[in-house]
Structure 1
């Protein structure tokens, strides 16, 4: 068993294909196939079910791919710790990011400072929904991820705070109010966004013992905003997720009463096993937070 075989196995599992894994690793498809067959022969089990149109891991393959990611992660940490003594000139950092909050507002600032400090570190960014980032952390697919806090499953570091706000069409009856309550939003068709913090919105209504009139589920922020502008319904979003207002828009942003804060932070599976590249990324993010550079909203 070699690190190369394990890396190929992990890439095939993530990309669900021999061809795509070969392209990502810049090797031939036959080399990928040979590595998987050799690994299966050594372990004495079938890791991948090969179908004509799809590829999926076997039950034992699902378990062993987690082990493979862990082994590769520890190996990368060892390489980086050795490299750290030489100024951390090389290494890899895998980041998970969700929605505009982290991908547009937070990550670019942190990444800019990180690249200046460590130009030799290769950075990979996976973008998805907030719950996908959590799953990637648990699967060891990424080293560090942006998450909505609190989350006791991980070691976490708060870096930004904003508030949840209601969005209503510009001519809606609630548009003239200074703030709105959850109860006032319940009669209207509600647009539940899946772009981020959906579980927080659901928790807010549950805690208030209210049930929104959910008519729509949207996975894209821009689609959600367009639906509110058309008058299809109302919604609740995190303020950091909203795009910068340029010109006239067809919706109005209203604070909730009472205010509902949201905290966003960086999370990793185990701080004790974090690579130097991961530790440096977190350190830079926390420094920017202390300097007040990760603030985008008024005081709550």
Structure 2
């Protein structure tokens, strides 16, 4: 069993295909097939179920995939520690990001500075909903991720705090009020933005024993703003994620009582984090002290 075989196995599982994995790795499909076949013969189990052109991990393949990713993560850490001794001239950093707050307001400045300081580190950024980033951390698909705090099962580092706010159509009767309670937003159609703080929004309503009338779920904040601006729904989002608003179509109102939201970085275990990951976290905290 080799690290190359495990890397190919992990990538085939992630991309659900031999051809896609071969393209990503820049090798022939036959080489991918041979690596998987050899690994299956060595382990004595079938790692994938084939469905025409698509493949998916078998039950035992899914179980071994977590181990393989852990081993690949450890190997990457070893390489990075060796690179650190040489001045961190080589290595890889995988970052998970979500929504406008992290992807547009936090990450660009951190990444620009990081690349200037460590040009030899290859950086990969994956973007998805906040809960997806947590899953990527659990599955070791990323080294570090932007998350909504608190997250007790990870080692976390706070970077910024903003407030949750209500979004209303400008012509809505509640737009005349200076602030709103969560209960004020339960009668109208509600839009849930999946990209950023959807889990936090659900927790807020559940804690208040309220149920919003969710009619829309959007993966992008711009879609949320468009639907609210058309007068079709209300929403709760983070103030830090918002671009300048067209006040003729949308109004923002603070919530009462105020509801803060904290954004930070998370790693599965800081003791096992690579030097590149730790350098990224240190730089992020220096640029965005809480």
Give TM class, smaller chain: over 0.9
The residue that corresponds to 2:261 in the other structure is 262
The residue that corresponds to 2:86 in the other structure is 86
Q: Aligned equivalents of 1:230 and 1:203: distance in 2?
A: 27
Measure how far apart 1:248 and its partner are.
5.3
Closer, same or farther: CA 244–31 of 1 in aligned 2, 3 Å: farther
The residue that corresponds to 1:184 in the other structure is 184
SS of the residue corresponding to residue 210 of structure 1 reads coil
The residue that corresponds to 2:252 in the other structure is 253
- For residues 10-29 of structure 1, the aligned pairs below 5 Å read 10-29=10-29
Q: What CA RMSD, in Å, does the superposition of the two structures yield over aligned residues?
A: 1.2
Q: Aligned equivalents of 2:4 and 2:199: distance in 1?
A: 39
Unmatched segments (≥5 aa) in structure 2: none
Measure how far apart 1:196 and its partner are.
1.9
Cα-to-partner distance string for 1:148-207 (whole Å, 9 max, x where unaligned): 110111000011111100000011112222211112222211112222211211121122
SS of the residue corresponding to residue 178 of structure 2 reads coil
Where does structure 1 differ by over 6 angstroms across 4 or more consecutive aligned residues?
none
The residue that corresponds to 1:295 in the other structure is none
The residue that corresponds to 2:273 in the other structure is 274
The residue that corresponds to 1:144 in the other structure is 144
Output the TM-score relative to the length of structure 1: 0.94
The residue that corresponds to 2:127 in the other structure is 127
Cα-to-partner distance string for 1:62-120 (whole Å, 9 max, x where unaligned): 01111111111111111111111111010000000111111111111110111111011
Unmatched segments (≥5 aa) in structure 1: 293-300
Q: Aligned equivalents of 2:240 and 2:182: distance in 1?
A: 20
In the alignment, structure 1 residue 285 sits paired with structure 2 residue 284: yes
In the alignment, structure 1 residue 203 sits paired with structure 2 residue 207: no
SS of the residue corresponding to residue 46 of structure 1 reads coil
The residue that corresponds to 1:297 in the other structure is none
Contact 2:131–2:199 (CA<8 Å) still a contact in 1?
Answer: no
Measure how far apart 1:249 and its partner are.
5.4
In the alignment, structure 1 residue 217 sits paired with structure 2 residue 217: yes
Q: Aligned equivalents of 1:32 and 1:240: distance in 2?
A: 44
Output the TM-score relative to the length of structure 2: 0.97
Q: Aligned equivalents of 2:142 and 2:13: distance in 1?
A: 14
